[in-house]
Amino acid sequence: MIVIVDTETTGLDHSQGHMIELAMARYDDEESCLIDCDSCLIGVSNNKTIHINGIREATMRKWSTTFDQSASSLKMAVGSARCLVAHNASFDKKWLPSNLPVPWVCSMRDIEWPAPRELIGSGSLEKLALAHGLGVLPGHRAIHDVLTLVRVFDRAAQMGAPAKMLIDRALRPASFWRSRAAFVDNAAVKAAGFTWHTGLKIWWRKVADVDVGQLDDLSFPIERLTWTELPD
């Protein structure tokens, strides 16, 4: 079993903002099937992102829980899980307790989806869904994004890539690599699955250790990084 999770927040900086919605779904990765799902609002006095997520402060006052209560629910959900899965996991991970007892898997960067890489493009959840022939729910709500990822896992299984296989591969030991290509080769670097890190201004890619030999076929130089996880 895995737990798919997503958050809505009042901003991008976790040191300044607040989490205002936590959604999760327990998913049977052996059967590629949804078990159950849940979502809760976490009350704040000023939702600065109401124009994005549409979560009204009056609604939060009436129906919200506390951060500790939502964190406790998440800890219970992951008690028997193999891992937590989130799209752009490095973002959601910053808003949640650091002592969760399972590893994280990023559905944007760690999973090798069956749809062609050129269709998935930049890796947004919307493009991931569309690349697998799925429609996208409107609005920025955590529960919508969680259920979209559930549907992508369902479709991947129909395409011959069951969730257990995808998760098994994502949990393999891996290392990070950076491109040393010249600027004029950026198109080739991107096509090879490297992602631009805005803060560090480098092209990087995470590769399972057993697959590192595939990098020998690249047309540009690369360098192994000392990262153990993706930095901010």
User: 166 with 146, same domain?
Assistant: yes
Residue 230 included in any domain? no
Q: Which of 163, 181, 177, 3 is nearest to 96 (CA)?
A: 3
User: 160 with 189, same domain?
Assistant: no
Residue 229 included in any domain? no
Out of 16-20, 29-33, 48-52, which region has the weakest mean confidence (pLDDT)? 48-52
User: 123 with 207, same domain?
Assistant: no
User: 119 with 41, same domain?
Assistant: yes
Residue 231 included in any domain? no
User: 100 with 8, same domain?
Assistant: yes
**Encoding tokens for residue 104?**
């994280």
Residue 142 included in any domain? yes
User: 218 with 109, same domain?
Assistant: no
User: 146 with 191, same domain?
Assistant: no
Q: What percent of the chain has pLDDT over 90?
A: 60
User: 91 with 206, same domain?
Assistant: no
Greater pLDDT, 57 or 132: 132
CB atoms within 10 A of CB 115: 20
Number of domains in the chain: 2
CA distance 229 to 118: 25
Last residue of a domain, one of 126, 146, 170: 170
Mean pLDDT, residues 13-24: 88
CA distance 231 to 90: 8
**Domain enclosing residue 61, as ranges:** 2-170
CA distance 112 to 204: 16
CB atoms within 10 A of CB 202: 15
Compute the chain's Rg from CA coordinates: 18
pLDDT confidence bin for 169, thresholds 50/70/90? very high
Check: pTM over 0.85? Answer yes or no: yes
CA distance 96 to 22: 9
The alpha carbon of residue 37 and the mean position of all alpha carbons in its chain are separated, in whole angstroms, by 17
User: Quick one: CA torsion of 140, 141, 142, 147, rounded to 10 degrees?
Assistant: -100
Strands 202-208 and 195-197: antiparallel
Dump pLDDT digits (tens) for 87-145.
999 899 999 998 899 999 999 989 999 998 888 877 799 999 999 999 987 778 999 99
CATH number at residue 121: 3.30.420.10
